[in-house]
Structures are given as C-alpha cells and as structure tokens.
Structure 1
Amino acid sequence: MSTRVVRFPLLLLGAFAALYLIWGSTYLAIRIGVESWPPLLMAGIRFLVAGCLMYAWLRWRGVPAPTGREWRAAGKIGFLLLACGNGGVTVAEHWGVASGVAALAVATVPLFTLLFGMFWGQRNTKLEWAGIALGLLGIALLNLGSNLQASPAGAALILFAAASWAFGSMWGKSLPLPNGPMASAAEMLVGGAVLLIGSLLSGERLTQMPSAAGWGALAYLVLFGSIIAFSSYLYLLKHVRPAAATSYAYVNPVVAVLLGILFAGEQIGSAEWLAMVVIVSAVLLIGLPQWRQRQDELAAAAD
C-alpha cells in the first residue's frame, strides 16, 4: 500500500512536468515549422508518424489491437483534440498569430472544460465559477491586443481549437477508449489521417523542401510534443479531474511567451501581458479545488 502511494505521485508529477514544459515549447516549434511546412500537412505528418511509431511499438510488446468500438471512440477524441484542437492552433500560427499569444488563448481550455462538464453533471465550486468569470475577462483583454486584432480569423480559430480540445477531454472520460498508451496511438492515427485529408482538400502543396529548422521542428513535435506529452495528458485525464489535467494551461503561456520573445523576436503588447496575468490567475483559481481534492485523496490512501 505504502509503495503505491509513494510511486503514484512521482509518476503524476512527471506527467504534469511534461505538459507544463514540453507543451509550452511546442508553440515555438509550430511557429518555426509552419515557415517551411503547410500547416495541415505538418500537423498531419506529426500525428500520423507519432501514431504509427507508438502503435508498432505497443503491438510489438504484445498490447492487443483496439476493438472496433475502441477505434470509433478513439476516432472521435482524435478528431476533436488533434484535428480540430491542435490543427486549429497550427493553422492560426500560420496565419500570423504569435506563438505566445496562441498559448494564451489556449489557456482558456480549463474554462471551457468546466462549462462543458456541466453537461455531464459536474458541479462547479464558487472558486471555479470565479475562475470562469476572470478567464472570460482575460479573453476579452487578449482580443484587445494588436496581435489578435490583426488576425480576427486566427483569434476565432484559436478559441474554437480550445473549445474543441476541452469538449473532447470531457467526452473522452465516458467513452470506451483503448487502455493505456494505445489510446494515444489510436487517437493520433485517426487525427493525423483527418488532418492529411484536410490538407489535400484545402489544396495545400509543398512547393520546396523544408529547411533544416523545419525538419527539426517536426521531429521535436513528433517525439516530445506528441508521443511524450500527449501520452502524459491522456494518463492525467484517467487519474485526475479534467480541469486539473488541463491545468498545464497556466504554465504553457509563460513558457511560450518567453521562448517566442527570446528566439522568434515576437512582441507582446501591454493588453496581452495583462491578459496573461488575468488568465493565469483564473486557471489557478480553477485548479485550487482540484489540488485540494487530490491531496485529500492521497492522504486518505496513506491512512
């Protein structure tokens, strides 16, 4: 009993660290990648390659293939999280939305998660409602910034991507997904295929070979952004409430903004800095009840 209580938090902390740091850096990697790759094509290759690698490795280790029912469930979540969610972010950055600002907008995922949770009978605390209200104020401030005003379509697409990700995160809790990492592999295979179909239908063309930086960005997104971080996210969704699993949103913006300023020369205006403070504060308010509940559960298990 005591061994499980010690090991489980360490694994949990490792999964959170992967989301906080790796996913924060993927916004810059996407920004670099879309300078060489068409956005939907890059996102599709990213998830299809990652999905194939994971699926082949799991099957080699003897993990059973998903059933037809599990494939359908994984397809639904892969479409929402990867095709609509990540694909939307990739296209928005291709349209000129700064990587740090994109991360700020995606930080609204926990707000959408709480709102969608009501459809599944989840009750929100007063702190969580305060976080939702504060987060909506942050969204308004973010849209006052010059970055999103210069790309209204990008702003709308980013918020749609955040809502799709949140809805898929909630829905996935009640779907018969494959067990363990196989869920990640199946979702990436379906999401990658949908993105490649979208690339074909939209007329995207690779007019020249990507640069070394473009290839490096794609490799980083496949290995770290997809296989490691996405698997960590799905693990957390199985072991904590969705609003806690999406708490990476209050660290990712800080990491993404700093990396964008340091390595991509991005400029963040005063309204956007204020929006970051407001949105991060909102997500912290939302996360407090989740962390308290988790600590109570661990304390009860230790007893």
Structure 2
Amino acid sequence: MSAARRFPLQLIGAFFALYVIWGSTYLVIRIGIESWPPLMMAGVRFLVAGCLMYGFMRWRGAPTPTLVQWRSAAMIGFLLLACGNGGVTLAEHSGVASGVAALAVATVPLFTLLFGYFWGARNTRLEWAGIALGLIGIAMLNLGSNLQSSPLGAAMILFAAAAWAFGSVWSRHLPLPAGAMASAAEMITAGAVLLIASLLSGERMTHLPTAAGWGALLYLVFFGSIIAFSAYMYLLKNVRPAAATSYAYVNPAVAVMLGIVFAGESIGVEECLAMAVIISAVVLIGLPQWRKQKTL
C-alpha cells in the first residue's frame, strides 16, 4: 500500500506545512523586524529552534555529533541559514516586500543547477533552458519598482538565494550528522554566528518587542524552523523528491497573496510578469526529475 493511501492526513498536513507555513514566513519576518533588529531576530530564532531540536534528538537517542560533523554543520549552517535566511531578513528590513523576497528566493533551483555543474553534475537541455529562462526572470524582477527602490536589498536577496543553493549542493559532499540532528547542529551554529554579527554590527534593542514581535519570533521558531523542516523531511521519505521540492514555485504565490492581504503590499506588473517567468523556469527544471521518478 502506498504512503499516500496509508497516511493521507499526514501527507496533507505535511504539504500544508511546506506550502503555507514556509510561504508565510516571509510575511512573519516582516512583522518581526518591526520589533526586533534583523540579525538578532534571526539569530535568536535559529539558536532556540536548534537547541530544542538538539535536545529532542538526544532524548530520542541520537548520537552526539563528532567534531568533524560539527565543523561541517557549521559551514552549511553559515551558508544556508546565516547567509541565506539572514540575507532574506536583512533584505526585508531594507524595504523589499515579503512577496518579492519569496519570489527572488524561488531562484534557488536555478543556482543549485549551476553550482552542481562544478561538482560534476551534467544538466539536460531542458534544465539549461530553465536556467536561461530563470535568469531572464531575475532581470525582469530587478526592473520592478520594489527592487529598484532598494538596490542593496536586491543584492542581498540574490546573494541569499545563491548562498542557500551553494550550501545545499556542498552539503552532499560533507560528513554531516544523520537525520534531523544535522539541521539542529546547523541551526545552533548559524544562530550563534548571526548573534555575533548582530553584536558586531551594533544592533541594540531600543524598546521591548510588541506582542506581535514576540508572536512572530515564536512562530518562526516552532512553525517556520521546527515543524516545516520536519514536514519537509517526512515528505522526502514518502513522496517523490520532485514533489517534496515543489515548494520552490508554490511559496512565492503564497507569500505574495499573504503580503497583499495582510500587509498591504503591492506587486507591480513587472513583478507579476517576473513571477510567471521564474515559476515557469522552475517547472522546466523540475520536469526531468518528475520524468525520472515516474520511470522508477
């Protein structure tokens, strides 16, 4: 019996977490940085989430990571979470709309294919077409008023996407802890790096966070970091990888909708066209994976 028949409710819940929760974190980050300094909020988020997950995994009997595994986790955590998520947080703090930030991060599959090429991966013609189309979409996105009004934010968000992709590819070649312990170690080390960066950059709390600020932080810790990641790991084990990674072209639509409805954000014609082009590019990149999985 297939996983979809045995665990329909679990699968529905996992996809909901992957699509809606991860898509909503961009809006929640925007709400949070109204009360928290951006690097400090990101650092606290990952340090707390990582410690909670680490404690849970140790309680379940997972072995303590070795020194080599901690070092590998620190490097991947730095790229994925400190540079990747930290860059998104800083970009939104500089004025980039949450929906546009999510759309820019949807370019991660494009960068992933490009970086994979340096590790010996060979892309199909369809994947190269997707990369080319995605680059056109990035250019169109930067023509929109949102990123033009914040050039630094535009650079940060694209750097964040590239760092996440590079870390994702590199992680396959490093000795990381098994299972969710890898994520816990990555979050702990990235949280520490972000808090050090917050201190060195002179971030200070000028007032106590509002109730919305505390709520945003708690949401990012429990839902955005722990629950959504666990759902992603569950889907990787129970559905085709192409289905599990489909969040790349669903999250932007969710983030844009939530930003318009709850934050009064406006997305121009340029951004809408760029969204269509980038999502089409990600679909093109995913087609070879869908075909491979169907033949298994």
Normalized against structure 2, the TM-score is what?
Answer: 0.93
CA distance in 1 between counterparts of 2:21 and 2:76 reads: 21
Q: Match for residue 223 of structure 1?
A: 222
CA distance in 1 between counterparts of 2:151 and 2:103 reads: 15
Deviation (angstroms), 1:73: 1.0
Deviations 1:192-235 (A, max 9, x none): 00000000000000110111111111111001110122344466
CA distance in 1 between counterparts of 2:42 and 2:151 reads: 22
Paired AA for residue 83 in structure 1: A
Does the aligned pair in 2 maintain the 1:173–1:238 contact within 8 Å?
Answer: no
Deviation (angstroms), 1:175: 1.2
What SS class does the counterpart of residue 120 from structure 1 fall into? coil
CA distance in 2 between counterparts of 1:27 and 1:5 reads: 29
Mean CA deviation greater in 131-140 or 119-128: 119-128
CA distance in 1 between counterparts of 2:79 and 2:93 reads: 20
Cα 1:229–1:291 shift into 2, 3 Å: same
Percent of pairs with identical residues: 77
What SS class does the counterpart of residue 121 from structure 2 fall into? coil
What SS class does the counterpart of residue 272 from structure 1 fall into? helix
Q: Match for residue 274 of structure 2?
A: 275
CA distance in 2 between counterparts of 1:49 and 1:15 reads: 22
Does the aligned pair in 1 maintain the 2:4–2:11 contact within 8 Å?
Answer: no
CA distance in 2 between counterparts of 1:165 and 1:241 reads: 22
Mean CA deviation greater in 81-90 or 12-21: 12-21
Mean CA deviation greater in 47-56 or 284-293: 284-293
Deviations 1:112-136 (A, max 9, x none): 0000110111111111111111111
Q: Match for residue 212 of structure 2?
A: 213
Deviation (angstroms), 1:3: 6.5
Match runs of 1:108-127 below 5 Å? 108-127=107-126
Mean CA deviation greater in 106-115 or 236-245: 236-245
Deviation (angstroms), 1:185: 0.6
Match runs of 1:41-120 below 5 Å? 41-120=40-119
Does the aligned pair in 2 maintain the 1:244–1:290 contact within 8 Å?
Answer: no
Does the aligned pair in 1 maintain the 2:103–2:252 contact within 8 Å?
Answer: yes
Q: Match for residue 161 of structure 2?
A: 162
Is 1:292 the equivalent of 2:287? no
Match runs of 1:190-269 below 5 Å? 190-233=189-232, 246-269=245-268
Does the aligned pair in 2 maintain the 1:44–1:191 contact within 8 Å?
Answer: yes
CA distance in 2 between counterparts of 1:60 and 1:95 reads: 40
Does the aligned pair in 2 maintain the 1:93–1:102 contact within 8 Å?
Answer: yes
What SS class does the counterpart of residue 204 from structure 1 fall into? coil
CA distance in 2 between counterparts of 1:8 and 1:122 reads: 34
CA distance in 2 between counterparts of 1:127 and 1:16 reads: 27
Deviation (angstroms), 1:16: 4.9
Paired AA for residue 91 in structure 1: L
Deviations 1:248-293 (A, max 9, x none): 2211110000000000000110000100011111111111111221
CA distance in 2 between counterparts of 1:239 and 1:181 reads: 16
Does the aligned pair in 2 maintain the 1:110–1:243 contact within 8 Å?
Answer: no
In structure 2, runs of 5+ residues without a counterpart are none
Deviation (angstroms), 1:296: 2.1
Cα 1:65–1:93 shift into 2, 3 Å: same
Paired AA for residue 296 in structure 1: T
CA distance in 1 between counterparts of 2:9 and 2:174 reads: 27
CA distance in 2 between counterparts of 1:254 and 1:4 reads: 27
Deviation (angstroms), 1:295: 2.4
Does the aligned pair in 2 maintain the 1:110–1:247 contact within 8 Å?
Answer: no
Count of aligned pairs between the two proteins: 296
Normalized against structure 1, the TM-score is what?
Answer: 0.91
Does the aligned pair in 1 maintain the 2:3–2:238 contact within 8 Å?
Answer: no
Q: Match for residue 138 of structure 2?
A: 139
In structure 1, runs of 5+ residues without a counterpart are 298-303
What SS class does the counterpart of residue 295 from structure 2 fall into? helix
Deviation (angstroms), 1:174: 1.6
Cα 1:30–1:130 shift into 2, 3 Å: same
